[in-house]
Structure 1
Amino acid sequence: MNNYNEVKKSFGTQAEKFASYHMSKAEYTDYLIRSIQAKGNEHALEVAAGTCICGRAVAPYVKDITCLDLTEAMLEQGKKLAKQEGIQNISFVSGNAECLPFEDETFDLVITRLSLHHFVDPEKPFREMQRVLKKGGKLVIWDMVATTEELRETNDAIETMRDNSHTRILSREEFEALFEDAFELQLEETTLVPVNLQSWMDLTSTPEDIQKDIIDKMEYDLNGGDKTGFNPYIKEGQICFDHRWLLLIGKKEN
């Protein structure tokens, strides 16, 4: 079972808006670069790269980077932006994260951002990233993490209403378990990322009737009703919430 068609449809629609939506989050890619501490000689890979936001940011700090994604429209947008930015050590590959088209132990650095919550079985792409990473190399996972277990189902339901390629947000413990067997965890940090509710729904072209339903749920939460797991708040007259992003960096053991 997979959701490849939902992913392609969702991100094909998002391609142009996806890059511009995340332009305001340069501080987060700067944080990623500082955390990775690249030496400059790495052969790097970004998996489920979308428009290659991380790949384009990391490119100046590594020898070369390959960006892989399932959705051609996303990669085309990434190519366009890389050309505009004058990045020359970057390449683009259309492919499936659950079956990476690379030999074992090809890369020194593997990165994926906001991807695992789109997989029915996130262990499959994780093990593929592990496979293509060299011993001693770094695996970087940066993704949403569940807030509380009791509200995770509600949280996931709203995420799926907004984007039906969403499957399930992992808990911190589930992320740690993925790294447990073959990695030494070097970094594990949570960042709160402010999100404007309307912009978040506009990104995925969420139908108006579903938008209304989501807004109703958020407003009910704000007024003391059933909790959504988003902890919404009002900023400048608009509904906002904070996504919790968990950054994990693991060194592959010999």
Structure 2
Amino acid sequence: MHETRSEKNHSGVVERQFGEQAVAYLSSSVHAEGQEFDQLRERLKGLCHARVLDLGCGAGHVSFRVSDLADEIVAYDLSPRMLEVVAGAAAERGLDNIRTVQGVAEALPFADDSFDMVCSRFSAHHWRDVGLALREARRVLKPGGVAAFIDVTASEQPLFDSFLQTVEMLRDTSHVRDYAPSEWAQMVGEAGLVMTSSTRQRLRLDFETWIARMRTPDVMRAAILHLQGQVGQEVRDAFEIADDGSFTTDMLVLWATREPF
């Protein structure tokens, strides 16, 4: 499947945004920590000789955290420089069951029924076509296999949704959309996967490290702070916006399965 010009343009924006900051994501506490890792490990313990796809792997934190429970992990990402960081860190840690593959989420270069588990963490909000990517995830997942999709999630309330999408785009021009839980449920179902559970967690974002990680230009940084100061109190309360710009948002941990034949 060949990329269209618009797909290449978006891919270029993503690589420009993340490639130069790949090492920063390896050391990011937001990406390296989280109670969802325990859930991933618990699910993998029940799978024998598992082959895992870390879809949109970023700096490889999922791959590293579950490497001792899988026979093989494929760390897959759009950014070649991110994958270089993953490969280097895996080699330093002696994790020889992790291999890297470059590509887009909407066109996975893997055979049907290839993986026992597909995991995606903090990646889907950059995908051009989440529905297509989810159908691809289902295609490469073995019948009876499990999938986990973990991402920042939008509110079902338009006011809060608009605020979140705006600050995300100002911070990172490769941002496409944070999806609400109802949107996730619909897209997962339309992709032919069966959702088995969905939980929300709160995620606190320190403003300065959140901005620095993306090297957000000063004009955009100032715009975010200005917007935070201009919104109503209900938005400030919902996101627990602090005077320094730090705020809290929701993240979704969604589990699904591909039904057996």
Contact 1:13 1:205 in 2 (8 A): no
The alpha-carbon distance between structure 1 residues 7 and 113, as it changes in their structure 2 partners (threshold 3 A), is: same
The reply to whether residue 128 of structure 1 matches residue 136 of structure 2 is yes
Pick the aligned partner of 1:252 from 244, 258, 261: 258
What's the TM-score once normalised by structure 1's chain length?
A: 0.90
Q: Which runs of 4+ in 1 moved over 6 A?
A: none
Contact 2:51 2:71 in 1 (8 A): yes
Q: Which stretch of structure 1 is more off in the superposition, 238-247 or 106-115?
A: 238-247
User: d(CA) in 1 for partners of 2:257 and 2:198?
Assistant: 12
Pick the aligned partner of 1:87 from 95, 101, 104: 95
Q: Which stretch of structure 1 is more off in the superposition, 66-75 or 212-221?
A: 212-221
The reply to whether residue 77 of structure 1 matches residue 88 of structure 2 is no
Q: Which residue of 2 aligns with 1:110?
A: 118
Aligned positions of 1:29-108 closer than 5 A: 30-38=37-45, 39-108=47-116
Structure 1: unaligned runs, 5 residues or longer: none
Q: Which residue of 2 aligns with 1:190?
A: 200
Give the root-mean-square deviation of aligned CA atoms: 2.1
The alpha-carbon distance between structure 1 residues 92 and 58, as it changes in their structure 2 partners (threshold 3 A), is: same
SS at match of 1:239: coil
SS at match of 1:189: strand
The reply to whether residue 161 of structure 1 matches residue 165 of structure 2 is no
How many aligned residue pairs are there? 250
SS at match of 2:33: helix
User: d(CA) in 2 for partners of 1:21 and 1:51?
Assistant: 9
The reply to whether residue 11 of structure 1 matches residue 18 of structure 2 is yes
SS at match of 2:201: strand
- Residues 171-229 of structure 1 show CA distances to partners (whole Å, capped at 9, x for unaligned) of 111111122253332221111111101111111000112111111222334xx468479
User: d(CA) in 1 for partners of 2:218 and 2:51?
Assistant: 44
Contact 1:232 1:239 in 2 (8 A): no
Pick the aligned partner of 2:146 from 134, 138, 143: 138
Contact 1:148 1:229 in 2 (8 A): no
What's the TM-score once normalised by structure 2's chain length?
A: 0.88
User: d(CA) in 1 for partners of 2:84 and 2:225?
Assistant: 33
Percent same amino acid among aligned pairs?
A: 25
In the TM superposition, what is the alpha-carbon distance from 1:153 to its structure 2 partner?
2.6
